[in-house]
């Protein structure tokens, strides 16, 4: 589904209020400070692609502010991935500030205050993605907020190229195709972040981050193994089980909780795919769940719906 909002046909006195409402509905509530409220102009197009939204935002000079009073009403954490294409934008979160020009992109976290501004007419692409979906692929994605990534070269260039191609092809794609394209787009986003050398050096020592990356890679490749446990992972990665547990203390999760979440996220992706013809039980077994009833309870507790409800919804869409 595509939604388009424009202020060009509105009474000037209503434009700033309309834009405030449109931004809250598209992303999440923010305080907006307009340079010229009565002369403001903005155009916003939104496409829903699988589990995330893509928007194209063109607007006059503006300051967006996410304050602490906005956070109390929020339940699910979200991330915005912003790709400016016309002018420089300034973003500050967690005590860090960046000035991102066309050719870069950055992440914004909904559960922490921030400021976002541009002093000229700006054009940008923005992805809104659930924190659970992103966190299942990148450990602690919040550590990359206020980090500017390359949107021109390598995986980052492929990511932004694909981003721009989607709207022109959107109407011709089936819901199944949109969902698949969306997954590929997020794969490219994750690859572009992981290929940046700062991914291995932010938040902790290079050695610890390198160990964690190797641990996570081995675990993801072996989610189907019933014997996937801390001892097996530690042995495969050449470290002690005690050191493995110590590494995960920095992530605010135990290794067992992290493995469970990876398995649930893998099952969720399979069940969300309308083209997948495996039964719920077969998918559960494929990712290491041997008890169907326990899997269903755990899945519902994690996602708020049963595996069957998710599958029926995906096929209905």
What is the crossing angle of helices 255-272 and 206-221, to 10°?
A: 50
Helices (H), 136-287: 154-170, 175-194, 206-221, 230-237, 241-249, 255-272, 280-286
CATH code of domain 2-200: 2.60.120.10
Q: Which neighbouring-strand residues pair with 149?
A: 105
pLDDT confidence of residue 144: 83
What is the crossing angle of helices 230-237 and 255-272, to 10°?
A: 100
Q: Does 3.10.20.600 match the CATH number of domain 206-316?
A: no
CB atoms closer than 10 angstroms to residue 166: 17
The token pair that represents 189 in the structure block: 């986003």
Helices (H), 1-152: 12-26, 68-71, 131-135
Edge-to-edge strand order for the sheet containing 2-6? 2-6, 42-49, 52-59, 122-130, 78-84, 104-109, 149-150
pLDDT confidence of residue 140: 74
What is the crossing angle of helices 241-249 and 255-272, to 10°?
A: 70
What is the crossing angle of helices 307-316 and 255-272, to 10°?
A: 30
Q: pTM score > 0.85 for this model? A: no
Q: Model confidence over 243-263: pLDDT tens digits?
A: 888 888 766 778 888 899 889
Hey, where are the domains in the chain? 2-200, 206-316
Q: Report residue 178's pLDDT band, with 50, 70 and 90 as the boundaries.
A: confident
Q: Model confidence over 18-58: pLDDT tens digits?
A: 999 999 999 999 999 998 888 899 999 999 987 789 999 99
**Cα–Cα distance, 240 to 218 (Å, whole number):** 15
Q: Report residue 204's pLDDT band, with 50, 70 and 90 as the boundaries.
A: very low
| The pLDDT of residue 138 is above 80 | no
Q: Model confidence over 264-279: pLDDT tens digits?
A: 988 988 898 888 889 9
E strand or H helix at 122: strand 122-130
**Cα–Cα distance, 215 to 6 (Å, whole number):** 48
> Do residues 110 and 78 touch, judged by C-beta distance below 8 A?
yes
CA distances from residue 304 to 151, 160, 222, 262, 307 in whole angstroms, order as listed: 35, 32, 26, 17, 10
Q: What is the mean pLDDT of the chain?
A: 87
Locate tokens 């997020």: which residue? Answer: 186
Query: Is 126 or 219 the better-scoring residue by pLDDT?
Result: 126
Query: Is 108 or 207 the better-scoring residue by pLDDT?
Result: 108
pLDDT confidence of residue 290: 86
């Amino acid at each position: 589904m595509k939604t388009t909002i424009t202020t060009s046909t509105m009474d000037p006195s209503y434009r700033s209020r309309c834009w405030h409402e449109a931004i809250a509905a598209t992303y999440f509530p923010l305080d907006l400070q307009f340079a010229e409220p009565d002369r403001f102009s903005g155009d916003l197009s939104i496409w829903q692609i699988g589990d995330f939204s893509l928007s194209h935002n063109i607007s006059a000079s503006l300051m967006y502010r996410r304050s602490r009073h906005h956070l109390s009403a929020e339940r699910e954490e979200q991330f915005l991935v912003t790709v400016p294409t016309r002018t420089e934008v300034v973003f500050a979160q967690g005590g860090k500030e960046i000035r991102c020009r066309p050719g870069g992109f950055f992440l914004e976290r909904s559960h922490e205050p921030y400021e976002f501004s541009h002093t000229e007419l700006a054009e940008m692409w923005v992805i809104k993605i659930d924190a659970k979906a992103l966190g299942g692929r990148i450990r602690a994605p919040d550590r990359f907020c206020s980090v500017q990534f390359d949107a021109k070269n390598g995986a980052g260039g492929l990511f932004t190229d694909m981003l721009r191609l989607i709207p022109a092809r959107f109407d011709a794609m089936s819901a199944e195709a949109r969902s698949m394209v969306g997954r590929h787009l997020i794969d490219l986003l994750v690859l572009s972040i992981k290929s940046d050398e700062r991914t291995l050096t932010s938040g902790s020592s290079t050695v610890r981050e390198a160990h964690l990356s190797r641990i996570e890679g081995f675990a993801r490749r072996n989610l189907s193994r019933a014997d996937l446990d801390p001892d097996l992972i530690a042995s495969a990665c050449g470290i002690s089980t005690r050191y493995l547990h110590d590494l995960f203390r920095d992530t605010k999760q135990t290794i067992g909780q992290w493995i469970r979440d990876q398995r649930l996220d893998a099952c969720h992706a399979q069940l969300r795919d309308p083209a997948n013809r495996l039964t719920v039980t077969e998918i559960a077994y494929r990712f290491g769940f041997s008890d169907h009833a326990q899997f269903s309870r755990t899945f519902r507790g994690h996602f708020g719906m049963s595996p069957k409800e998710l599958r029926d919804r995906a096929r209905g869409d």
